[in-house]
Structure 1
Amino acid sequence: MTLVAVAAATVLTACHRPPPPPPPAPAPSGPRAPADVVVLTDVDPTVRTDIRYATAHNFVGRPLDGYPEPLCLLTRAAAEALRRVQAAALADGHTLKVYDCYRPQRAADDMVAWAGQPGESAGAVEFHPRVPKSELFAEGYLGAPTAHSRGSTVDLTLVRLPAPTPSRYPSAAPPVPCTAPPQRRYPDDSVDMGTGFDCFDPLAATAATDISRAARANRALLRRLMTDGGFVNYDREWWHYRLADEPYPDTYFDFPVSRSAVR
């Protein structure tokens, strides 16, 4: 074989050689969620989301520590239970909308630090117009640790179908108390529940009577749907429900609210 033929054969062999394998992906840094924690919309994409603590529209007035993405993370048991609740809600002409799901311990600590800062914040006008910030923990509106950090608790509401186009938070508009009539409150697309979400006020108690008949009926519907689905309500907050048979009743997690934390 001539030198030219040898060179040609070498080139031909090189052309058919498989490419080298890609380098391994870097392992995600930081704490990771247990294997049974999922993104709710991966389990049921029909559930609407408005993850307030990943935005500035909450009582702190900024995104909370631990919320790099606006996601609802839940244990699979809670997500599957909520999927069944959603099926019942859809059959009744409504859809669920979640405001908060798993909450990292660092976010609860962020709330504690905020509550310890002197003076009222701009969020007081909307979220706790009648309860001083210094009394929010004592009155049971805030807690640390919180059941949310166990991964099977959710804050949510109902939206009537066909769902209206979600409104954007009017950051330049003056805040309105969460206890104001529905036509004056922040234009949430949910049904009237008597108060806005995260309204730290006696009117937010699930069984409060000083709200309209329609609001009482809407709260009762949400409670029936969630109770039938295996959830338990926190009686001071119409929006707060915990899976009764939660898989981690004594564990408080601190992985961030992000897809990279979910296995």
Structure 2
Amino acid sequence: MPKIYYTIPLLLSLLFFRSDTQLPSGFVYVKDYIPNIHVELRYFCSDNFVGTHIDGYEAHTCILSKAATLALQKVQKELNKQNLGLKIYDAYRPQRAVDHFRRWAKDVNDTLMKQDYYPNVAKKDLFVLQYIATQSRHSSGSTVDVTIIDLKTQKELDMGSSYDFFGEISWVAYSKLTKKQLENRQMLQRVMLNNGFRNYPKEWWHFTLRGEPFYNHYFDFPIQ
């Protein structure tokens, strides 16, 4: 289980319900539709490749397009039959968060989290190698970063690499893994693709709804 560090204001915000901010039409709060889904938004805390809370994540609240949420609901129901479930690392991501990543990337001397997230990749190459983008599909509201957990132990299944690890070991086609790790990855790919999502070849956790409703529309409303 990763260590998650919260600042005092962020920790206090967890004590309260989300605000009643009106979401744009077509967006929903995921837990309203999938109450038993696990959420661990890494950009709301400091356990991420930047090493700090990311702009736009004002609450530990998961937002997606309604279409993506309904597809994810089907995935959750299928996994629940096997005493498994989804954990979400990231869903809708404001454009201001992507801009935060861009500012961070320009500071080549800030390598606080390099050993944990990109030990074999030069920071200056993260955009060139397409691990980070200037515009993210997440900002269109139908992309989600997920893994599978065992509902009995609440532990994540072993996928062979950690979330947001920038390297070949995280690629969907990477095969130098144990038999169990390969099986776990294949199960995640299968259940997501069979329920309307497509994958991103360089990140085993990253999926986008096919026929997403807001294609190439990059939203910037904060997560509240």
Check whether TM > 0.5: yes
Counterparts of 1:225-244 in structure 2 under 5 Å? 225-244=191-210
Deviates more, 1:204-213 or 1:96-105: 204-213
Given that 2:92 and 2:139 are in contact with CA atoms closer than 8 Å, whether structure 1 keeps it comes out as yes
Which whole-Å CA distance do the structure 1 matches of 2:176 and 2:109 have between them? Answer: 29
1:1-263 → structure 2 map (5 Å cutoff): 33-164=23-154, 189-258=155-224
Moved over 3 A (4+): none
Q: Contact 2:45 / 2:52 at 8 angstroms: preserved in 1? A: yes
Which protein shows a greater Rg?
1
Work out the CA distance in 2 between the residues paired with 1:129 and 1:155: 21
Unaligned runs of 5+ in 2: 1-19
Q: Deviations over 1:86-108 (max 9, x none)?
A: 00011122100000000000000
1:79 partner SS: helix
String of CA shifts for 1:179-230, please: whole Å, max 9, x gaps.
xxxxxxxxxx311000000000110001101121111110100011001110
Counterpart residue type for residue 196 of structure 1? S
CA-based RMSD of the aligned residues comes to: 1.3
- 8 A Cα contact 2:171 2:201, kept in partner: yes
Cα pair 1:120 1:132 within 8 Å, conserved: no
Amino acid of the structure 2 residue aligned with 1:68: E
Corresponding residue for residue 7 of structure 2: none
CA distance in 2, matches of 1:155, 1:225: 14
The one-letter code sitting in structure 1 at the alignment partner of 2:31 is T
One-letter code aligned to 2:26: D
Cα deviation, residue 144, structure 1: 1.6
Secondary structure at the aligned position of 1:239 is classed as strand
Q: Which residue of 1 aligns with 2:5?
A: none
* Contact 2:104–2:110 (Cα < 8 Å) also in 1: no
Identify unmatched segments of 5+ residues in structure 1: 1-26, 165-188, 259-263
Offset of residue 161 of structure 1: 2.4
Task: Give the TM-score of the pair, scaled to structure 2.
Answer: 0.89
Counterparts of 1:205 and 1:92 in 2: how far apart (Å)? Answer: 26
Paired residue for 1:182? none
> What is the identity, as a one-letter code, of the residue corresponding to 1:35?
S
How many residues were matched structurally?
205
Q: Partner amino acid for 2:127?
A: F
Indicate if the aligned counterparts of 2:131 and 2:166 stay in contact, CA closer than 8 A. yes
Q: CA deviation at 1:34?
A: 1.6
Q: Match for 2:175: what amino acid?
A: T
Question: Can you list the C-alpha shifts for 1:35-79, whole angstroms capped at 9, x where unaligned?
Answer: 221110111111100000000100101110000111110000001
| Structure 1 equivalent of residue 17 of structure 2 | none
Letter of the 2:89 partner, please give it. Answer: Y
- Structure 2 Cα separation of the partners of residues 107 and 163 of structure 1: 32
